[in-house]
Structure 1
Amino acid sequence: MNQTLTALEGFCVGHWTDPVGQTGCTVILGPAEGFLASASFLGPSPGNREGILLAPEKRVERVHALLFTGGSAFGLGAAEGVVRYLEERGIGYPTPAGRVPIVPAAVIFDLMAGDAKARPGPEHGYAAAREASPDPVPMGRVGAGAGAMVGKYLGYALSSPGGLGSALVEQSGVRVGALAVVNPVGDVYDLEGRVRAGPGRFREYRPVDLYGQSTTLVAVGLEVTLSKSEARMLADAAQAALARVIRPSHTPVDGDSVFVLSTTCRPATDLLLLTALVQEAVAWAIVKAVA
């Protein structure tokens, strides 16, 4: 039984992984008309492409794919491959000159995990898009999570492997999925408060230079009809779920980024219920990334 993001109608996920270089990328594809989307960015170190388009006041409401990638800022080039994949299939925002695919992307810093010169590029983004399917999402050290690390506040030598996780929750006929790439400076705890990844010794922390080397990337998947402003509100609410299972979270050296994507193929529903389900799905996805 599929208990991951791709259980939702219209969602497909594909990975490209370099197990030697310890990096990779992950693509989320949806219906041809795209996802209604918004996003929330916390912390001073987010790395992203076209994130500004997702602000509620901006004109573009739908995106045609979402890319999560390793390689730090270098890895953003993988989005070009996803754009090419979609263009070849006639998918994109209609303009007089043809359809233009809208593909936001977000990165993690994984250059310390393996080969710092191993970075996802356009051909790897294309490959991940080509592999996208509605099958259960492979988890762990795959795709954008291949080089993720957890608990770096005592240095990389004492950190633990991070990874990619996905979860699905349901209540009253409403389903919410989440996919998380977990690369925070803090430790990951399970929902019972037990350390699952990282040294679990933050009381021993002494200031070191970790600027720009940590982040958690989250995609929240919905099926319900909602506005772009409501999607942004849910993205903000999802950020709170990080603090439930990542400690410390939203630090000065993290760039936590949450994207909300909805196919809008089902009727609108209660926003309070949605908020609760979003936070539960995100927390589970983070824990499953390091299980």
Structure 2
Amino acid sequence: MRRGPTNSLMDVAGLRVGHAHRVGAGHRTGTTVVLAPAGGAVAGVDVRGAAPGTRETELLDPRNLVERVHAVVLTGGSAYGLAAACGVVERLADAGIGYPVNGGVVPIVPAAVIFDLGRGGAFRAVPDAALGTAAYDAATGGPHGVGPASGGDPHTTSPEGTAPPVGGNVAARPGAVPALGTAPPAASGSIGAGTGAMAGGLAGGVGTASVILPDGGTVAALAVANPVGSVLDPADGTLAGTRYGLPGEFDHLRSPSPHEVQAWNPQKAPSFNTTIGVVATDRTLTKAQCGKLAAVAHDGLARAIRPAHTMTDGDTIFALSTCAIPAPAHDEFQDILAAAADVFSRAIAHAVLAATGREGAPTYLDVFPSAATTATGEIS
């Protein structure tokens, strides 16, 4: 097996991804949208965490009416951030995309949130409908889809036309809105929904991975890694998700020195977190099979995070089938399920490796510099 061309959800033909985020003036949060192809995608969901923040998940039960969704929104902001989905719904409705009903269409947009409140300094600096709109535009190349890749402070003009304030007390600037930033669709790091993410005391973020199966089908994942649990192998301090890497994918890493592992003792870890994401394939699946695909992707989450699915995590994974190629045989579906777990583990590892460090949330290689190797394989 091999990685897809971008090692991301974009390797599943028909899917589009957009990231939008705000950093500064008390903000450190964002939204990521996954847009389905024309006609929607068959979808399922599996919620394992005990503190989920979600929208439209009951609709994905195989016993319920709607078969296809038109987008999935992943966002920061805890329950407040669910408002970002409204911006995506409006954009889809304006484009005439949705479930047909008398008089028009109703876009079907499930969503899930991570807890990142206060990570930028202001508790209520959260994603809103405008940020969802910007993420949609980033995916489609619309009005706000031209911002720079940014895992740190974005410096584009915000859709509200308000430049980020310089200095001052955030609390004294309740109307301040920082500039809006976007990132390329296949990017990983502290972008989009993962802008304010933390992973067991380390900086977290968005990560992606894909695989092309022997039968020609593709399975890919996008994870927003924000767990209360550790992303490290307790035996040697390696990133647990890298164990499932494809040839050459994580060859630039090795086990960190025991001294660095023993010295790592993160303090004041956040008490509320959550890891969310999407796993997708171009094979034709039923709604029930998508539910199973999401469930098995949670195995990959649990391999990469320890502990997972805690009382203060709202771990939620959506599964999408674009139905671009025929349905799999029984043994081929087994391969798709196995691949879903592996790509989700790899996506979590990429999220942590690509994250931007900040005060109170160092990067993995900041804490374990000996884990990086040079091109010749020597310790850097």
The answer, yes or no, to whether TM exceeds 0.5 is: yes
> Which residue, out of 140, 151, 176, partners 2:189?
140
CA contact (8 A) 2:237 2:261 kept: no
Match of 2:278 in 1: 219
Change (3 A) 1:200 1:29: farther
Q: 2:22 corresponds to which residue?
A: 18
Is the Cα contact below 8 Å between 1:148 and 1:163 reproduced in 2?
yes
Contact 1:234/1:278 (8 A) holds in 2:
yes
Query: For residues 97-246 of structure 1, what are the structure 2 equivalents within 5 Å?
Result: 97-114=103-120, 115-132=122-139, 136-151=185-200, 159-172=201-214, 173-189=216-232, 194-196=237-239, 210=271, 213-246=272-305
Q: 1:38-49, aligned counterparts within 5 Å?
A: 38-49=44-55
Measure the CA separation in 2 of the matches of 1:133 and 1:12. Answer: 7
Other structure's SS at 1:138 match: coil
Superposition CA RMSD, Å? 2.4
C-alpha contact (below 8 Å) 1:218/1:258 kept by paired residues: yes
Aligned to 1:154: none
TM-score with structure 2 setting the length? 0.69
Aligned residue for 2:177? none
Instruction: Tell me the CA shift for residue 112 of structure 1.
Output: 3.1
More strand by share: 1
Distance 1:55-1:253 versus aligned 2 partners, 3 A rule: same
Question: In structure 2, how many angstroms separate the alpha carbons of the residues matched to 1:253 and 1:2?
Answer: 33
Measured in 2, the distance between the counterparts of 1:242 and 1:101 equals 29
- Report if the CA contact (8 A) 1:27-1:128 is conserved: yes
Deviation per residue, 1:28-86 (Å, 9 max, x gap): 01212111001000121010011111111111110000000001111100111000100
1:84 matches 2:127: no
**Letter of the structure 2 residue corresponding to residue 236 of structure 1:** A
Letter of the 1:138 partner, please give it: A
Structure 1 residues not aligned, in runs of 5+: 152-158
Q: How many residues align?
A: 279
Q: What TM-score does the superposition give when structure 1 sets the normalisation length?
A: 0.90
Q: In the alignment, residue 145 of structure 1 is paired with which amino acid?
A: G
Aligned-partner Cα distance in 2 for 1:93–1:200 = 52
Q: In structure 1, what is the Cα distance between the partners aligned to 2:185 and 2:46?
A: 26
| Separation in structure 1 between the aligned mates of residue 97 and residue 187 of structure 2, nearest angstrom | 26
* Residue 117 (structure 1) shift: 2.3
Distance 1:205 1:165, change over 3 A: closer
Code of the residue aligned with 1:277 in structure 2: it is A
**Distance in structure 2 (CA, Å) of the matches to 1:179 and 1:241:** 12
* TM superposition shift of 1:194: 3.5
Q: Does 1:3 align with 2:7?
A: yes
Contact kept in structure 2, 1:2 and 1:136, CA below 8 Å: no
Distance in 2 of aligned mates of 1:118 and 1:184: 21
Residue 189 of structure 2 contacts residue 352 of structure 2 at CA under 8 Å; is this kept in 1? yes
Q: Which moved more, 1:84-93 or 1:50-59?
A: 50-59
Q: Which residue of 1 aligns with 2:340?
A: 278
CA distance in 2, matches of 1:88, 1:133: 13
User: Counterpart of 2:226 in structure 1: which amino acid?
Assistant: N
User: Which letter does structure 2 place at the counterpart of 1:289?
Assistant: A
SS of the equivalent of 2:89 reads helix
Once the two structures are TM-superposed, the CA of residue 133 in structure 1 deviates from its matched residue by 5.1
Structure 2 residue matching 1:277: 3-state secondary structure: helix
Q: Which residue of 2 aligns with 1:257?
A: 316
Number of the residue aligned with 2:71 = 65
User: What are the ranges of 5 or more consecutive residues in structure 2 without an aligned counterpart?
Assistant: 142-183, 241-259, 354-380
Amino acid paired to 2:217: V
CA shift at 1:205, angstroms? 10
Match of 2:35 among 29, 54, 75: 29
